[in-house]
Structure 1
Amino acid sequence: MSNPTLHVADIPTLSSMAHHKGVKVVVDNTFAPMVLSPARLGADVVVHSVSKFISGGADIIAGAVCGPSSLINSMMDLHQGPLMILGPTMNAKVAFELSERIPHLSLRMKEHCHRAMVFATRMKKLGLKVIYPGLEEHPQHALLKSMANKDYGFGGILCLDMGTEERANRLMHHLQNCTQFGLMAVSLGYYETLMSCSGSSTSSEMNAEERELAGISPGLVRMSIGYSGTLEQRWSQFEKALARMHQTTN
């Protein structure tokens, strides 16, 4: 899944095309651990920002490269391997802490995805412009459904297009400071909902024309849906923030 527009790549088709030309396929699966298993879909290498969903606590900086033993061994080669020469070796304490969290990753991802689906559906009913692969109108809904692992949903991230950066920031202000629905932050995969206006944060290195070509609206709010509190409690907080925003506008 692309960041932040949530386009879904056709991994089997891309892998088939690449392998026909003798090219290796690398998939960044940071947005969809458990939801997708790219190696089973034809990918040769899968990478993760472990700091996100896999860690789940927003307190660890780590990454993972997953691939065949020949690749991993070559990266660890004493004389030429980038892991040996450049030094990106995981701290032992961090590795241990992650090993304690991975066993409940599946439970966490199911709840992230479940709440994202419920919120996206309800936001759509309120007339908001929602981007979420779990909604049938999403261009790659059927594709993701065909690739996804059963019972894991469609990912824990959704986007709301508020049209303008000013409206996006106002909504996030009310969600964080008035109703405590979530926190404004550029990370994702935390147990609290995290929100950011992508055009002015994670995609700010692109100019306006590049963002437009990529489909990143100035008011696009990326939400990594958390699982703290009850679902209905969080939804009530969202509705209150939206109502307050409309009141201040009027």
Structure 2
Amino acid sequence: MHIETFLVNRAVEGPSLQTAYFYTEPEKLEQIFKGKAPGFFYSRVANPTVAALEEKIARLEGGIMATATSSGMAALTLTFMAFAQPGAEFLVCAGLFGGTLNLLRSLAKTCGLTYKLLPSPDPGLIEKHLTPRTRLVFVESIGNPTLKVPDFAGLASLLKAHRIPLVVDNTVAPLLVKPLSLGANIVIHSLSKYISGQGTVIGGCIVDGGNFEWDERFQNLYPLVREAGPLAFSAYVKKELATDIGMCLSPFAAWQVLIGSETLALRMERMVENARELARYLKSFAAIKVNYPGFEDSPEWQNCHKYLGGKGGNLIVLSFKDKETAFNFIKKLNIARLATNIGDVRTLVCHLDSTIYQKIPPDEKKILNITDSQVRVSVGIENIEDLKEDFVKSIK
């Protein structure tokens, strides 16, 4: 048996297969280039390790096809560019990651599109802002950091009637909710966070539900409908954008994510359990306000219970008296670490206003309800009693 065959077929953990591949028959390579035969020839276009990850993420979300990208922001960029055309308008709902808003402002300047930031993913509010120019509605499964939970079924029903795609960033809630099964059309992940779980790799992924009929309004996608049918979006993102722009995920990064993903279910269970317990414990302190969607008295509880089974994720937002108090709290922590990542096995805290949302204009901060007294907590898998002790020491 050749060593290559042994590594691929017998290794407990599949190898990271790199860069370029050779063929002995030019006719075979010609057919691959024409798209008439399967195969790999250059990793910017396609790679077996990356393809294995794409297949896994597609199955995770119940999608038809997935496209792995060099980062979560790359996944967002490619998705938005697929819908970018002069006069197009995007409706995006509060709770958005700061980088997403920065990206939208840049695209608005260069691509002739506009976007409206709405304070809530409420279907009734979104319906009031739909226009003939609306090309997509974008929400997060659990808003980061407002922790708003959308009414997925209500949104899907509304947008299906208006023939507008629903795009969901599900980075914060893998396994907790599957938006495609609830009527969403496209799902996005930052693989750097929960799915890999270690804070050691950068990557992103776009999952296509294959459940939207693209028409003439979508200028970039409609020309591909005859060839790709409902997968016109994936065809455009893979062939027209990711390949030519070069926003592909490296094989080694894909391999790292594949390894990390093996413990996703265990990590999510522990992180959510820890977050609920820590949030409940912190509610007893009058000096701070605790925002967590997994509480029955939370305004997000109805949707959290209906769509996430009452599992509010692992993010908590703490509001202190002022910025100075928030900073002092962070400085006193020993176990929790000051970092801007989320979904790590370690508990991480971040002062939002001075970091991720520093460049966000004041009017958008107001819509997002971002203040300088807030600290976001991404709860990890540590011993919960150790976390409680660390937090209470820092509050006093």
**TM-score, normalising length from structure 2?**
0.57
Supply the distance in 2 between the matched residues of 1:68 and 1:208 (Cα, whole angstroms): 36
Other structure's SS at 1:65 match: strand
Q: CA deviation at 1:204?
A: 1.3
CA displacement at 1:163 relative to structure 2: 3.2
Identity percentage over the alignment? 27
Q: Over residues 163-216 of structure 1, what are the superposed CA-to-partner deviations in whole Å (9 max), with x where a residue is unaligned?
A: 3111111101111xxxx1311111111111111111111111123343233211
Q: Does 1:217 align with 2:358?
A: no
Q: 1:83 to 1:208 in 2, by over 3 A?
A: closer
The runs of 5 or more residues in structure 2 that have no matched partner are 1-141, 211-230
**Can you list the C-alpha shifts for 1:69-107, whole angstroms capped at 9, x where unaligned?**
613233222xxx211111111111111121122121011
Q: Residue in 1 aligned with 2:255?
A: 96
Rg larger for: 2
Structure 1 unmatched ranges of 5 or more: 244-250
Contact 2:180-2:209 at 8 Å conserved across structures: no
Deviation string 1:217-249 (CA, Å, 9 cap, x unpaired) is: 221100000113x11112112112222xxxxxx
8 Å contact from structure 1 (residues 55, 101) kept in 2: yes
What's the RMSD between the two structures over aligned residues?
Answer: 1.5
1:140 to 300, 310, 321: 300
Contact 1:163 / 1:217 at 8 angstroms: preserved in 2?
no
Distance 1:215 1:97 in 2: 36
Question: How much has 1:8 moved relative to structure 2?
Answer: 1.3
> Structure 1 CA distance, aligned partners of 2:371 and 2:298?
16
1:41 aligns with 2:182: yes
Structure 1 residue 5 displacement after superposition: 1.2
Amino acid across the alignment from 1:67 = D
Q: How far, CA to CA, are the matches of 1:209 and 1:170 in structure 2?
A: 27
Output the amino acid matched with 1:18: L
Residues 42-76 of structure 1: per-residue CA shift (max 9 Å, x gap): 11000011111111111111000001461323322
Q: Residue in 2 aligned with 1:248? A: none
Q: Equivalences for 1:74-153 in 2 at 5 Å? A: 74-77=236-239, 81-127=240-286, 128-148=288-308, 150=309, 153=311
Does 2:173 align with 1:14? no
2:376 and 2:243 map into 1 onto residues whose CA distance is 36
Task: Specify the SS of the correspondent of 2:263.
Answer: helix
Secondary structure of the corresponding residue to residue 130 of structure 1: strand
Task: Indicate yes or no: 2:374 matched with 1:205.
Answer: no
Residue 174 (1) aligns with residue 332 (2): yes
Tell me the amino acid that sits aligned with residue 140 of structure 1: E
Q: SS at the partner of 1:56? A: coil
- What's the offset of the Cα at 1:9? 1.6
Cα 1:163–1:9, aligned 2, differ >3 Å: closer, same or farther? farther
Aligned-residue offset at 1:134: 0.6
Confirm or deny: 8 A CA contact 1:110 1:153 kept in the other structure: no
Distance (Å, rounded) in 1 between the aligned partners of 2:164 and 2:362: 33
Q: Does 1:160 align with 2:318?
A: yes
- Counterpart secondary structure, 1:111: helix
Provide the C-alpha distance between the structure 2 equivalents of 1:143 and 1:192, rounded to a whole number of angstroms. 28
In structure 2, what residue type is equivalent to 1:38?
P
Question: 1:63 matched to which residue of 2?
Answer: 204
Are the aligned partners of 1:112 and 1:155 in contact in 2 as well (CA < 8 Å)? Answer: yes
How far apart, CA to CA, are the structure 2 residues paired with 1:22 and 1:184?
43
Contact 1:163 1:218 in 2 (8 A): no
Query: Could you say which residue in structure 2 is the equivalent of 1:246?
Result: none
Residue 226 in structure 1 maps to residue 388 in structure 2: no
Say whether 1:238 aligns with 2:391. yes
CA contact (8 A) 2:193 2:343 kept: yes
SS at structure 2 position matched to 1:27: strand
C-alpha separation in 2, matches of 1:232 and 1:3: 26
Instruction: Tell me the number of residue pairs that the alignment of Structure 1 and Structure 2 aligns.
Output: 233
Q: What is the CA deviation profile of residues 95-135 of structure 1, one whole-angstrom value per residue up to 9, with x for unaligned ones?
A: 11211221210110011100000011010022231000011
Contact 1:174–1:241 (CA<8 Å) still a contact in 2?
yes
Letter in 1 for 2:264: L
Q: 1:37 is aligned with what amino acid?
A: K
Q: Which residue of 2 aligns with 1:247?
A: none
Task: Please tell me the residue identity of whatever aligns with 1:109.
Answer: M
* C-alpha spacing 1:130/1:89, structure 2 compared with 1 (3 Å): same
* Paired residue type of 2:395: L
